[in-house]
Structure 1
């Protein structure tokens, strides 16, 4: 039996989720029984046949997905939208965050020697960086890279980031140069 009000509420919730939502969560939020939610989800699933999207139960939860037959057009849309490459400033800021996370915006600015507020907004908007709590001493927001960052770089974990040491200047040589300048 169809329940349009419940189905509409489920659709509204599923339109804004980033990860699959369990039947129990939906039932709790909507103040309905799990059986009612399951029945509504099953009815909705059948009602989307022939559409550009589908409703699927994956990994213990429900979510909308684009239809597999539309993958070429979705890929084109997503890739065309991502052709704007990151600026050098954004790449440098992202590198600082990746290697120093969790890190505050002020710390990133201090390391880079410039204000990074606008760049940080870009990185957050693109889903490469997210908030990671507050710094205990100052209350500053801390930032870290996202799973999307790892995915875009083709990494399984942050441990797969290349070592920085080969790219840093020879510190012994730098010390010698600094000493010669002060003599």
Structure 2
């Protein structure tokens, strides 16, 4: 068997991994420098576009993964399973935004910012969008919450540094009332 091309290895790695593949992993797989591995990924992504493949490569959660072209997603709905989870409530989105921008953050801090209960933290944990990062040094050692890699995947972010900048002086434009 002949040695596979770098582009064939990239495609096989992205398909087989089932998770985002990091630049370091690609560089090791291809025996290239990280910079050359990034360039090879760009070449591969362009080859997919040129071939009208119906999918592309997305940089997310510190690595690369295959994604369906957004223009085709609606056409695939009949064959996709399981059905998507119901949309997050406004309250859950508020809590998620606070956690994303302020992590690590305690439930009491979230409730103080919202002026309301942060009970939706449980829902966000069940959906694996937030996780417990540890305990605060404050009295009672309250839990500290932060976002997960699944959060990054769901929102198409490479890292929390890719969150949009907050306008103004804080979170007030994100919160109700």
Higher relative contact order (CA 8 A, sep 6+): 2
Larger radius of gyration: 1
Q: TM-score, normalised by structure 2?
A: 0.49
